[in-house]
Homo-oligomer: A and B are copies of this chain.
């Protein structure tokens, strides 16, 4: 089995180091392809306007001057002779809960591994300070082992969020649905040192749907939240009403 690791915090992030160390205990063929800079918020973006450069920065660790999706895309379309069986992306510094997954590069890297032989995992550490990467790493190890022993369908993408606490203090595991957040906070208007107007994207909104069954709820209660994601964005339930609506055109 060959594991492909990536992330969106960049190849130097502590979460990736923890994941690499943990995965080495599960599998003797691990390769990492990650952005050379922090690319949080990159979503599934692909770099189409310029070519990418790949640099081996450590043994079997490759840095790409692109997005998380670029990394996994290159790794699965010819960068290596051999295909990976599974992508594990993370350990992200900070939550990827609710609508965060739309913007998350961590989740996008996992999504890009959807054509490989095994499910893909995106794993994030939830907390303001982010100390217990070892906890998330143990969770990742357990999940990879279980996936190998009891495979899930290959196009499954698991979005895993781990509370930032000692492994012993976790309340357990829960299968969850995504909650959602309130509208994002207002933009932050500022001026650069030359007096020109600039705008920063504001913080994500507060939890809006964080009721029982959601990923927010599980994590708030100390559980590891595991949400199965789909790649098919069709809202199938609306198809027939949309068809009726179109008849009016």
Contact = CB atoms under 8 A, between A and B. Distances in A.
Contacts of A102: 44, 111, 231, 233
A77 to B, nearest CB: 5
Contacts of A189: 78
Copies of this subunit:
4
A44 B43 contact: yes
A34 interface: no
Interface in A208-238: 226-236, 238
Contacts of A77: 183-187, 201-202
Interface in A48-78: 48-55, 57, 65, 67, 69-70, 73-74, 76-78
Nearest to A184: B77
Nearest to A54: B199
Contact of A44 (B76, B103, B229): B103
Given A78-B187, A245-B152, A52 B201 contact: yes
Contacts of A192: 48-49, 51, 200
Interface string A146-167: 1001101000101000000000
B187 A79 contact: yes
Interface stretch (A15-23, A24-32, A84-92, A173-181): A173-181
28 contacts: A12-B57, A40-B49, A42-B43, A42-B45, A43-B69, A45-B45, A45-B67, A46-B103, A51-B198, A53-B196, A53-B199, A73-B184, A76-B183, A77-B184, A102-B231, A115-B183, A146-B245, A146-B248, A175-B243, A176-B239, A178-B232, A178-B234, A188-B193, A192-B200, A193-B203, A226-B246, A228-B242, A230-B234
